[in-house]
């Protein structure tokens, strides 16, 4: 404190240079004492009130649940808004960042179309669904604090690198995926057997498969679907004529394959009457 007074006195008589010295001295004192003026806002938990979360639940069901699902689990391109993945993504970030992202990007068909209070309530609801307790202080667009405040134990855990769990099959690893081959080799089909003691995956080449030559890739046979949207130009057109406007009403569902959720999914391919779905199960 003595050093600050000395520099401050010099500032009054010595001009701008002394003012700079005052600032440097104050910064040094704060650094030495471990005090940061911004630290409390950066590390404390962002707060919201119970009524804000209740209102946010209504906004969520009306504007968000159709894509992110009623339980906030997410689906396909819509990421989860609750659970470990969401916490890992937003744990160390400020609630103002989350508010800004939601306001600027949601709803996807008309970003920014909700009222300011609705966006704030929506984020309050997300905090509640992730286990953050309500408080007396209301959330607003200028609120500071983190989406999730780290406890001492979490801070120690976060400093230790955590390996992501191995998700089978692992491409290129012997025993978990087809052995890598040449571009002309037949893809292998997985047979997955689940028992009480574990899951077994075996692979075999499909029957009656013939490699796809460059000529077929450039000009696919009518019955094949060898590219994204069918053709090299992604035209999405099939010359097959069995289905017409007169008989299309006779089509019915034959089978369903539950694709695994994710941010994107590869397109299916068809070769020699076989449908190839590049999706891990």
DSSP string, 17-60: HHHHHHHHHHHHHHHHHT--SSHHHHHSBP---HHHHHHHHHHH
Which of these CATH numbers, 1.10.760.10, 3.40.50.1100, 1.10.3720.10, 1.10.10.10, describes 50-158? 1.10.760.10
Residues 273 and 224: beta-carbon distance below 8 Å: no
b/e sequence 163-174, b meaning 16+ C-beta within 10 Å: eeeeeebeeeee
Element (H, E) at 86: helix 84-90
pLDDT at site 8: 38
Task: Please measure the distance between the N-terminal and C-terminal CA atoms of the chain and give it in whole angstroms.
Answer: 65
Q: What number of other Cβ atoms are within 10 A of residue 76's Cβ?
A: 13
- 157-192, pLDDT tens digit by residue? 444 444 555 555 555 454 555 445 545 566 666 777
Token pair listed for 83: 């659970």
pLDDT at site 186: 65
Kindly calculate the radius of gyration of the chain based on its CA atoms and give it in whole angstroms: 29
Q: Which residues of the chain have pLDDT under 50?
A: 1-40, 152-153, 155-162, 172, 174, 178-179, 182, 281
DSSP bridge pairs for 103: none
Provide φ and ψ at 276, rounded to 5°: -105, 120
Q: How far apart are CA 278 and CA 281, in angstroms?
A: 10
pLDDT at site 19: 38
Given the structure tokens 């209301």, which residue do they identify? 138
Residues 260 and 280: beta-carbon distance below 8 Å: yes
Residues 72 and 173: beta-carbon distance below 8 Å: no
pLDDT at site 241: 85
């Amino acid at each position: 404190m003595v050093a600050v007074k000395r520099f401050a006195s010099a500032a009054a008589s010595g001009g701008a240079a002394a003012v700079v010295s005052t600032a440097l001295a104050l910064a040094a004192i704060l650094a030495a004492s471990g005090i940061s003026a911004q630290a409390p806002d950066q590390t404390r938990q962002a707060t919201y009130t119970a009524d804000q979360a209740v209102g946010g639940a209504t906004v969520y069901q009306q504007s968000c649940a159709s894509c992110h699902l009623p339980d906030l689990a997410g689906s396909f391109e819509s990421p989860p808004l609750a659970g470990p993945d969401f916490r890992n993504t937003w744990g160390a970030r400020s609630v103002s960042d989350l508010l800004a992202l939601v306001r600027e990007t949601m709803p996807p068909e008309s970003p920014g179309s909700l009222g300011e209070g609705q966006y704030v309530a929506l984020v309050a609801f997300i905090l509640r669904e992730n286990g953050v307790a309500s408080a007396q202080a209301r959330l607003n667009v200028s609120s500071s604090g983190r989406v999730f405040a780290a406890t001492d134990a979490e801070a120690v855990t976060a400093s230790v690198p955590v390996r992501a769990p191995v998700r089978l099959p692992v491409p290129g690893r012997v025993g978990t995926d087809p052995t890598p081959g040449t571009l002309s080799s037949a893809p292998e089909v997985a047979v997955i057997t689940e028992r009480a003691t574990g899951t077994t995956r075996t692979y075999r080449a499909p029957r009656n498969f013939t490699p796809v030559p460059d000529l077929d890739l450039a000009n696919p046979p009518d019955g094949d679907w060898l590219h994204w949207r069918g053709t090299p130009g992604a035209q999405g057109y099939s010359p097959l004529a069995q289905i017409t406007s007169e008989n299309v009403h006779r089509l019915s569902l034959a089978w369903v394959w539950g694709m695994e959720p994710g941010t994107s999914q590869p397109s299916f391919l068809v070769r020699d009457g076989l449908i190839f779905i590049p999706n891990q199960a």
